Amino acid sequence: MSTTTETITDTARAFFEACEKGKGWAECSSYCQPEASFAAQAEPLADVRTVKDYTEWMKGLLVILPDGGYVVKSFATDHERNNVCAFGVFTGTHTGPGGPVPPTGKSASADYVYAMEFEGGKISHITKIWNAGLTMKELGWTG
C-alpha cells in the first residue's frame, strides 16, 4: 500500500466486515486503538461507550437475529479528516433466543452509517447513525 489513506480504507473495510458478521472484539480489536470510543444517539446503545463493547453487542445481536446480514451501499474515505464512512442496510429476523421479548418472527431492514475516525492507522472512535426506534418497531419489540 502506498498511502495512509489506502491503509485506513482497508482497515475500515476489514473492521466493518468483521463487526457486521458478529465476530466480536476478538477479531475486531486488531483494527482499533485499545480504548477506541463509540457513540450513537440510539436507545439500545445508550450505555455503549467503547468500540469493544459495541462489537460484542453486535455479536449478541446476531444470536437474536441469526439470519442477520448487510449490504454496503457506500464506502468513502475523507483524506483530509482521516476518517472513513460506511453506509449499509442491515436486515434480520428475530427468531433466535434473547432480546427484549420472546422471538417475534418479524423482520427489519435498517439503514445505518458508521463514521470511523482514525489515529495512527487504527480506529480511534466510531459514531453510529441509526434510527433504532423504527428498527425496534419493525421487529415487534416496541409498539
Q: What is the pLDDT of residues 53-78, one digit of tens each?
A: 999 999 999 999 999 999 999 999 99
Both ends of the chain: CA-CA distance in Å? 50
Domain with 126 in it = 4-138
Span 1-10, mean pLDDT? 66
Residue 79 pLDDT = 87
pLDDT at 143 over 90: no
* Cβ-contact 50, 35 below 8 angstroms: yes
Span 125-143, mean pLDDT? 96
Average pLDDT over the chain reads 95
* Cβ-contact 44, 65 below 8 angstroms: no
The CATH number for 24's domain is: 3.10.450.50
Q: Quick check: is 8 in a domain?
A: yes
Residue 1 pLDDT = 40
Residue 114: Cβ within 10 Å count:
25
- Write the CA distances from 55 to 3, 20, 126, integer angstroms: 27, 8, 11
122: nearest Cα among 22, 18, 4: 4
Q: For residue range 69-108, list pLDDT tens digits in order.
A: 999 999 999 989 999 999 999 999 999 998 899 999 999 9
Residue 28, exposed/middle/buried by CB under 10 A (0-12, 13-18, 19+)?
buried
pLDDT at 111 over 60: yes
Q: Quick check: is 128 in a domain?
A: yes
Q: Quick check: is 143 in a domain?
A: no
* Cβ-contact 96, 117 below 8 angstroms: no
**Number of compact structural domains in the chain:** 1
pLDDT at 8 over 50: yes
